[in-house]
Amino acid sequence: MFEAIKHNMETIAGVEIYPILSLLIFFIFFVGLGIWVYGYKKEAIDDMSQIPLKD
């Protein structure tokens, strides 16, 4: 089954860029998410952590 898919993918021009793009998107997303979480204000995180405990 994989051989048929591999053969079809080899016939598409420029297909080798897709794994690179997917890795780049994955990397940029998680680096951006890490920066966003690291830069979040401690007071806002404390407020959100108390939401389930409030009546």
Pair of tokens at residue 32:
């951006």
Rounded to two decimals, the pTM is: 0.59
Model confidence pLDDT, tens digit, residues 34-45: 999 999 899 998
DSSP 40: S
Inform me whether the pLDDT recorded for 55 exceeds 80: no
Check if the beta carbon of residue 15 is closer than 8 Å to that of residue 9: yes
So where are the chain's domains?
23-55
In whole angstroms, give the CA distance from residue 23 to residue 26.
5
Model confidence pLDDT, tens digit, residues 1-29: 667 777 777 777 777 888 899 999 999 99
